[in-house]
Amino acid sequence: MQKSNRDIPFEALGFALLGGTLALLSGCGGTSNQTPVQADLALSAVDEPFNAQRLRTLYRKLSTMAEPMRQRSVRESSTLRVQIPTAQGEEVLHFALVRNSAGDYPHLRITRPKTGEHVNFVFGGPVAQGVTLRLTDDGSRLLQRDGQPLVFRLFGGEPRTRTPQDWITTGIQIAALAFLVWIGAVVVRGVAAAVGFVAFNLIVLGALAAGLGVAIPVIRWFLETSGIDWDTVRRFVEQTAETIIELLREVTRWLTQGISLYRG
């Protein structure tokens, strides 16, 4: 599962709000015995086994959200409520797959009830220039932080020799980074890594629900080139807790290094 930084496609166009404050937060907050508050999944800021054990049981819930989205008439899935520790205390985020003006295919939408904010995670292209992850509002307008659009390079347009698991790992890294930039320096990197795990697996299941027949070239390219299917996601999510712990550590390390890779 280990990769060198050169193997990871990365371009964040809006990373100015991280830096020293985030580094300061990396060792604070959270406990190992969080009690869910109206949440389906509670994450800890300090207890990796706690997070790993809960993440590896999520596939049934995620697939239950995605399966009905195979029908084009279904506009929104059920909601996954994720409790995260922040610098201001516990907070519950709502994750759902939706079809809306941001993307007429099942894609991830995260709502932050505490502030009323929401964000859509949608694929961007064209493929020849590299697949991107775009963070938009419900009207498909790019969100910004400090005047910079939230667009992140996800995959290069040229096929590479990588396993389906490698595709998902890279996607988790970028989804974690995108989430961290969007929500700001209120969560630690370990929590962002766990959120990235949930987010990208749900993004992939949404793409699979859309299927190869979707009239969006970048999604067809991703599904055809990666070779990912429903069982790939199931096996990835249901890895051993020890494997998931190492993955979360790898993503956390990558986020730390990713700050220095920012290209303004």
- Closest by CA to 97, choosing from 105, 88, 106, is 106
In order, the DSSP letters of 83-95 are: EEEETTEEEEEEE
The residue extents of the domains of the chain are 5-260
CA 28 to chain centre: 22
pTM: 0.85
Q: Is 181 helix (H, G, I), strand (E, B) or coil?
A: helix
Reading the chain (264 residues) residue by residue, the pLDDT tens digits are: 444 433 334 333 333 233 333 333 333 444 444 444 579 999 999 999 999 999 999 999 999 999 999 999 999 999 999 999 999 999 999 999 999 999 999 999 999 999 999 999 999 988 888 899 999 999 999 999 888 899 999 988 666 678 999 999 999 999 999 999 999 889 999 999 999 999 999 999 999 999 877 778 899 999 999 999 999 999 999 999 999 999 999 999 999 876 555 444
